[in-house]
Structure 1
Amino acid sequence: MTVGRRALLAASLALPFASVAAHTSWTRPTGVVPDASLPLWPGGHVVPPRGLAERVIQRSDEADASDRMLEGITRPRLDIFRPARPNGAAVILAPGGGYRYVVIDKEGYELARWLSERGVTVYVLFYRLPGDGWANGADVPLADAQRAMRLVRSRAGADGIDPARVVFGGFSAGGQVATSLLTRFDATVYAPVDAADALPARPDALAAIYPVVSMDPAIAHAVSREKLIGANPDAAREALHSPERNVRADQPPLWLLHAEDDDVVRIDNSVRLRDAARRIGAPCEAHFFERGGHGFGLMKTAGLPIAIWPELLWNWLGSHGIV
């Protein structure tokens, strides 16, 4: 169901503003740090599995190309990047990491900075990982994505955004989070916890960049598949978590990006999702490039035609009235 802009705005303004905790970690030499960090769930609602502990791992020591990942996420949250002059648009980003960790910089903070410099309020989502021992682990990334959509809309007045211009984007395994939200935005995967959960979780547009999509073992990213649905899932479980098999006419407009030479997540994931959307007449724009590999983000596209992808995304968002 599509909710009108006025109804969303009225509902969000009626909710109390959520408190924002000061961000006190993850300092980057080049100064790309969020303005604030917002807990996704009320205190005490999320109880981590015994022994789970967060750990930041640095994968690059280059001062201008920091590449960190966060393991063992115990505090799902949104790191907020506020523009100097907000244009009313909001984007929630789900970085990748094979459902083993969540990338911080190249698929999170870097694009957040790029978008915020153009007036977009950006929220980088650090979602729970399905293999970390959470109850109903296969649905915790989707639960966090739904909650992020609702929480951001509830903060429209506080953050200066239009609750009918909220986009969700994901990279790699974060693209699986995104495309699951594409087709299961109204699935009941958690019990409501506060007034924000009365708001819709359907994004107004959705972007998936070199996404993991399918759980079909013929094309699936093997690690993501095992972490999400286990080593020996039955056919029903495999189908439920394969977004290309669950497309629907009322899903949000979809934007896809993939490189033909991606040797980590096969381009078939994006091709199948595009074809499934096309068959039912759902809006979808796809960009496939000859070269780019996997995990290029913004930092690993120099000298390649695929380097134009952020501008392609920006123009598409404009065509749908987001920016």
Structure 2
Amino acid sequence: MKKPILTLLVSLFTSMAFSQNHTLPLWNGTPPLQNEMDLKEEVVSEGIIRINNVQIPTIEVYLPAKQISTGKAVVIFPGGGYGILAYDWEGTDFAKWLNAQGIAGIVVKYRLPGSKSLTDPKEVPLLDAQRAIRLVRQNAAAWNIDPAKVGIMGFSAGGHLASTASTQYNHEVDRPKDGIDALSARPDFSVLVYPVITFQDDAVHGGSRKNLIGENASQELKDRFSAQLNVNAETPPTFLVHAQDDKGVPVENSILYYQALHKNGVKASLHIYPSGGHGFAFGLGKGAVEGWREVLLAWMKETVM
């Protein structure tokens, strides 16, 4: 009996070793659209890990054991109104859960527009998002990922960033380029969880809009960062989940994006639960919304072959 037990222990240890995480910087040296300043990142851990004033954007990579790997990867953008990042609640917790499903989870610690070091704050989150997707594709072979199965997941303002990355993946800014820029930044699929979508007045999350483009932004900027206005036939297939009683980000945000996807013939799945509020994450103890992750997995199996 000792030999089978030893074999099992070795197998478990090997599986754990393969699923350990590591962190990589998005950029070499000072990131684009940023001045070198003596500013410090702020991390507060009070129930939820909240990160502010990011100066060195990174990806934290969680890989599943090779024995269960599906080849799929999800690049995750935590929310926080473009003011902070709810880094574990809407980031690393989900990367670990995805690993158990055989899916790589990559959490992006993206720069936030409030930092004084940024030269064009409104462009920086999207720039970091594009870089993260490209970086995953660059490392796909080493990480046992299929480069044609790289999706994104965003929560609240992170959902706004994910929807922007889904509709403006070809957007460019004036900056130095390197070899990674030759890779596609288009996500293969998108998962938007109680997302901010529109910057129009009827259903806007005022805090996200103010933090990203300012209080007195032009209509042109409001339109550019309203994802429902930028959907086309090439927008990735999308899964949306929202609670009807969300008092932070009105459910109309998800509905507007779904309608735009449907109009353009893009495969989309919209799930609205009667309760759950805003920021429910896993939805534990929140009633029916607790089951949204199982619905997501079924959608991914059907959509991401």
By the TM > 0.5 criterion, same fold?
A: yes
Matches within 5 A, 1:139-288: 139-189=123-173, 191=175, 193-288=177-272
Matches within 5 A, 1:64-213: 67-85=48-66, 86-133=69-116, 134-189=118-173, 191=175, 193-213=177-197
Conserved in 1, the CA contact under 8 Å of 2:247 and 2:277? yes
Distance in structure 1 (CA, Å) of the matches to 2:135 and 2:176: 12
Shift of 1:48: 4.9
Alignment partner of 1:311 is 2:294: yes
Percent identity, please. Answer: 37
Q: Which 5+ residue runs of structure 2 have no aligned equivalent?
A: 1-18
1:44 equivalent in structure 2:
30
* Structure showing greater Rg: 2
Distance in structure 2 (CA, Å) of the matches to 1:92 and 1:318: 17
Shift of 1:218: 2.3
2:271 aligned counterpart, secondary structure: strand
Distance in structure 1 (CA, Å) of the matches to 2:203 and 2:120: 24
Shift of 1:75: 0.8
Distance in structure 1 (CA, Å) of the matches to 2:204 and 2:173: 23
Matched AA of 1:82: L
Q: Cα deviation per residue 1:252-284 (whole Å; 9 max; x = unaligned)?
A: 101100000001111111111111112222221
1:13 equivalent in structure 2:
none
1:257 aligned counterpart, secondary structure: strand
Conserved in 2, the CA contact under 8 Å of 1:69 and 1:102? yes
Which is bigger in relative contact order (C-alpha 8 A, separation at least 6)?
Answer: 1
Matched AA of 2:101: R
Tell me the matched-pair count.
Answer: 283
Matched AA of 2:121: G
Conserved in 2, the CA contact under 8 Å of 1:34 and 1:79? no
Shift of 1:321: 2.6
Conserved in 1, the CA contact under 8 Å of 2:77 and 2:154? yes
C-alpha RMSD of matched pairs (Å): 1.6
Alignment partner of 1:56 is 2:46: no
1:131 aligned counterpart, secondary structure: coil
Conserved in 2, the CA contact under 8 Å of 1:292 and 1:301? no
Distance in structure 2 (CA, Å) of the matches to 1:259 and 1:301: 14
Matched AA of 1:245: L
Conserved in 2, the CA contact under 8 Å of 1:143 and 1:190? no
Matched AA of 2:28: P
1:19 equivalent in structure 2:
none
Shift of the 182–93 alpha-carbon distance from structure 1 to 2, 3 Å rule, reads same
1:228 aligned counterpart, secondary structure: helix
Shift of the 174–311 alpha-carbon distance from structure 1 to 2, 3 Å rule, reads same
Conserved in 1, the CA contact under 8 Å of 2:191 and 2:238? yes
Shift of 1:303: 5.0
Shift of the 235–34 alpha-carbon distance from structure 1 to 2, 3 Å rule, reads farther
Q: Cα deviation per residue 1:183-226 (whole Å; 9 max; x = unaligned)?
A: 10111135353211101111110011000111112211111100
Shift of the 243–262 alpha-carbon distance from structure 1 to 2, 3 Å rule, reads same
Shift of the 285–321 alpha-carbon distance from structure 1 to 2, 3 Å rule, reads same
Choose 127-136 or 148-157, whichever is displaced more.
127-136
Q: Cα deviation per residue 1:98-135 (whole Å; 9 max; x = unaligned)?
A: 10011111111111111001111110001111222312
1:208 aligned counterpart, secondary structure: strand
1:148 aligned counterpart, secondary structure: helix
Distance in structure 2 (CA, Å) of the matches to 1:158 and 1:228: 35
Residue 21 of structure 2, aligned match among 35, 59, 82? 35
Distance in structure 2 (CA, Å) of the matches to 1:266 and 1:141: 22
Q: Cα deviation per residue 1:268-315 (whole Å; 9 max; x = unaligned)?
A: 1111111111222222110000000011111x4325101111111111
